[in-house]
Amino acid sequence: MLEQIVQIVSNERSTDSYYRLVVRAPQIAPRIQPGQFAHVRILPMKDALLRRPFSIFQVEGDTFSILYKTVGKGTVALARMQSGEELSVIAPLGHGFTVPQPGAETPLLVAGGYGMAAMYLLARRSPQKGIVFVGGRRRVDILCEREFQDLGWEVRVTTEDGSHGEKGLVTQPLLAELKSAQRGRKLFACGPTPMLQAVGKIAGEHDVPAELSMDEHMCCGVGVCLTCVIRVRSGDTWEYRRTCTEGPVFDARDVVWEEAR
Amino acid sequence: MRAETQSPESRAVEEGLEPDLSVSIGKLTLQNPVTVASGTFGYGVEYAQLLDLNQLGAVVVKGIRLNPVPGNPTPRTAEVTSGMLNAIGLQGPGVDGFIQKYWPFLSTLKVPVIINIWGTTVEEYAEVVRRFDALGGVGALELNVSCPNIKEGGAQFGTDCNLLGQVVAACRRATTLPLITKMSPNVVNIAPYAKAAEDAGSDALAVTNSYPAMAIDIETRRPKLANITGGLTGPCIKPIAIKLVWEAARAVKIPIIGMGGIQNAEDAIEFFMAGASAVAVGTANFYEPQTPLQVIAGIREFMKRKGLRNLSQIVGSVQLTR
Ligand SMILES: Cc1cc2nc3c(=O)[nH]c(=O)nc-3n(C[C@H](O)[C@H](O)[C@H](O)COP(=O)(O)OP(=O)(O)OC[C@H]3O[C@@H](n4cnc5c(N)ncnc54)[C@H](O)[C@@H]3O)c2cc1C
Ligand SMILES: Cc1cc2nc3c(=O)[nH]c(=O)nc-3n(C[C@H](O)[C@H](O)[C@H](O)COP(=O)(O)O)c2cc1C
Ligand code: FES
């Protein structure tokens, strides 16, 4: 983990409300593992003080990028920033995905919305190619289809409104795939919490291992404030663990889901 | 005090002397007056990768009670304009867990470690104090009698002069370590509380803890915190904290560690002028972990610029006459 002021190389709209931001960070870039995140201080936000966490999307040479959706103050302010401007970044943070070993299970990646961002590096670094299941509300929420195809991965798209790919939820083609009864698969998922919970349940029912990247509100991002905790199994009971430090990636079997809020 | 016009200072400037930033809290000497606020710096180890902890005045750890505490449900924090709310619920490993897990690292630091403690009864406070007294190597103990997020053991002690006196006195009997009493801001007049802590044997006061507050998500109509209410901290509370420090400083002779929204050296110096002898950086650590070091550098620069040799030349130096 390093804290650095980094320069924006580019910050462009990708589709609809999704943007891609590339920053030059020569010390940080080589250390990044799939599933890790960057904690970004968006300096133009004056009265909103906290950093915002974003999965690291791609790493190229001495740069890394994030893929983000504008949802509130911070992301809107970020979208207005231009190349040459500076951001303060603490990265790489967190415990990421286990990169598949040669000959290990076939990876099945499950992504919803900006959850796709956390998946690219995993696919890129995995010696095994697999299938990416990507879901979103509408066509514009389907990100990076081409990128995954270019890596030689099969991509199965679902949209809730049927505007692209199969109509429905991302878990439908996933279930169909698991029912095809092939052995030796492992799930990796990142997306909205209800999707993660559904994937965790499916993994349990089909007895397939799964790693989930949890999306929790954060404050410090480095393990001191105890904002980002989730319930994790510990013996017969559970304890709170920090998403920013012990996560964001957890083994699905360890996550204890709270009742829907 | 008109520090700028006094001759020793002008001489110091001419001679290019380094200002002396050290301060005393009871029998404890800090190399500089900048500490960190409990609960915003974990157990030190988490930030060790980002800054040199040995540059700080002291490291102050997250509140600990006798037994492990699971903490509150989430969401536990929420951002608000120029600040944040928190209701962590004092999650912690308990005394034994802390000693086993964190003390091996903390005991290697060259700067004092201040342990923030709490309990639900007077006896529990005293017991935790005894345990840390027996540990050896602890710099000071900070008695949190002011957490707004815990039903028993928090603010109830800090907002009742009599109970406050009892807690501090019981802890005083249990140790010779310096004791810092962390004051609640949730009182009409802080002076009698400050005095009660001083009279019961506290070596210093920490002013202030967070302010009880609330925020609502208008889309869902739900409170932004699972605990419904929480403690407000960050730059938005600074002017209120400055006033409390000023009032407390006039009521007691013991040193005050001022905190509440400090982001830079100017903020810290304002606390000194109000009467604080030392300061703590809290919420700012979350968004800018270098803040404590920047504050130290800025205080040194200010003192040089003003020709000040000692912090005592700033402490309580607010000029009330126009
Ligand atoms: C590990 C991790 C990885 C993430 N990766 C990405 C990514 O790759 N792309 C992307 O677009 N988004 C990602 N997010 C979500 C992103 O952090 C939020 O969308 C962002 O913080 C919203 O900030 P805002 O100021 O625009 O929204 P506001 O609603 O104004 O933010 C208010 C507060 O809530 C927090 N917050 C709001 N929504 C979320 C959320 N979904 N998750 C966590 N905190 C939130 C903010 O950080 C801020 O403290 C990730 C979150 C986590 C925890
Ligand atoms: C997330 C969080 C956790 C805290 N935990 C503690 C604690 O365990 N014990 C304590 O005495 N104060 C605790 N505090 C209060 C701070 O130590 C400090 O008094 C307060 O935040 C005001 O300073 P600031 O505005 O600079 O943050 C906590 C504050 C925050 C924001
Ligand atoms: S965000 Fe502070 S502990 Fe995880």
Last-in-domain residue among A45, A72, A93:
A93
In angstroms, the CA B281 to CA A49 distance is: 15
Give me the domain span that covers residue A161.
Answer: 106-259
Regions in chain B scoring below 50 on pLDDT: 1-6
Examine the fold and report which residue of A93, A118, A151 is the final residue of a domain before the chain moves on.
Answer: A93
Q: Is residue A99 assigned to a domain?
A: no
Residues A122 and A213 in one domain: yes
**pLDDT number for residue A15:** 84
| A14 and A46 both lie in a single domain | yes
What pLDDT, on a 0 to 100 scale, did the predictor assign at position A182?
A: 75
* pLDDT at residue B114, rounded to an integer: 98
CA dist., res. A250 & res. A248, Å (int)? 6
Burial of B276 (0-12, 13-18, 19+ CB in 10 A): buried
B288/A41 touch (CB, cutoff 8 Å), yes or no? yes
Beta-carbon separation of A229 and B46 below 8 A? no
Ligand nearest to the CA of A71: 1
pLDDT average per 10 residues of sequence, chain A (261 residues): 96 92 97 97 92 97 96 96 97 97 91 93 94 93 90 94 92 91 88 95 94 97 97 94 97 85 43
| pLDDT attached to residue A104 | 85
* Region at A124 (left for phi over 0; alpha for psi -120 to 50; beta for the rest): alpha
CATH architecture of B8-313: Alpha-Beta Barrel (3.20)
Are A89 and A110 found together in one domain?
no
Residues A120 and A209 in one domain: yes
Interface with A, mutate which of B79, B101, B224 (most A CBs under 10 A): B79
User: The CATH number of the domain where A62 resides is what?
Assistant: 2.40.30.10
Query: Are residue A87 and residue A113 in the same domain, yes or no?
Result: no
Kindly state whether residues A80 and A134 are assigned to the same domain: no
**What residues in chain A have their Cβ under 8 A from chain B's Cβ atoms?**
1-3, 41, 47-51, 88, 90, 216-217, 219-220, 222-230, 239-240, 245, 258
Residues of B marked active site are found at 147
Among B77, B83, B290, beta carbon nearest to A227: B77
Reported as half-sphere exposure (CB side, CA atoms, 13 A), residue A121 has a value of: 26
Q: Where do the domains of chain B lie?
A: 8-313
Cα distance between residue A110 and residue A153, in whole Å: 13
Q: Across the interface, which of A1, A2, A50 has its CB nearest the CB of B287? A: A50
Non-local CB neighbours of A128 within 8 Å, separated by 6+ positions:
A100, A102, A103, A104, A105, A106, A107
The confidence score (pLDDT) of residue B58 equals 98
Report the pLDDT value the prediction gives residue B148, as an integer from 0 to 100.
62
CATH number at residue A251: 3.40.50.80
Residues A72 and A186 placed together within one structural domain of the fold: no
Nearest to A53 by CA among A80, A71, A31: A71
d(CA A130, CA A124): 11
* Mutation to probe ligand 2, out of B36, B146, B233, B267 (largest number of atoms < 8 A from CB): B233
Residue B152's pLDDT is what?
60
What are the two backbone dihedrals, phi and then psi, of residue B208, each rounded to the nearest 5 degrees? -150, 165
- Same domain for A223 and A115, yes or no, is yes
Cβ–Cβ gap B86/A47 under 8 Å: no
Give residue B158's pLDDT: 79
The secondary structure of A94-156 as a DSSP string is SB---PPPTTSPEEEEEEEGGGGGGTHHHHHH-SS--EEEEEESSGGG---HHHHHHTT-EEE
Whether A24 is covered by a domain: the verdict is yes
Write down which residue in A50, A71, A93 finishes a domain: A93
How far away is chain A from the Cα of B75, in angstroms, using its nearest Cα?
A: 7
Residue pair A108/A211 in contact by the 8 Å Cβ criterion: no
- The tens digit of pLDDT for each residue in B246-280 reads 999 999 999 999 999 999 999 999 999 999 999 99
| pLDDT at position B205 | 98
Q: Which of B91, B209, B211, B281, when mutated, tests ligand 2's pocket best, judged by the most ligand atoms within 8 Å of its CB?
A: B209
Per residue in B186-230, pLDDT (tens digit) is 889 999 999 999 999 999 999 999 999 999 999 999 999 999 999
Domain identity same for A185 and A235? yes
Is the domain of A111 the same as that of A207? yes
Residue B146 has what pLDDT? Answer: 78
- C-alpha closest to that of A157 among A137, A179, A184: A137
Indicate the average pLDDT of chain B: 93
Distance of alpha carbon B272 from alpha carbon B291, whole angstroms: 17
CB contact under 8 A, B74 and A217: yes
pLDDT at res. A144:
87
CB-nearest to A226 from B73, B88, B288 is B88
Amino acid code (one letter) for A203: A
Instruction: Write out chain B residues lying below 8 Å of A50, CB-based.
Output: 79, 84, 286-287
Q: Identify any residues that bridge with A157 across adjacent strands, giving them in sequence order.
A: A134
Residue A183: predicted pLDDT: 78
pLDDT value of residue A261 = 43
On whether both A123 and A238 belong to a single domain, the answer is yes
Nearest Cα residue to A243 out of A193, A168, A202: A193
| Number of domains making up chain A | 2
DSSP string computed for A62-85: TEEEEEEE--SHHHHHHHT--TT-
Say if A126 falls within a structural domain.
Answer: yes
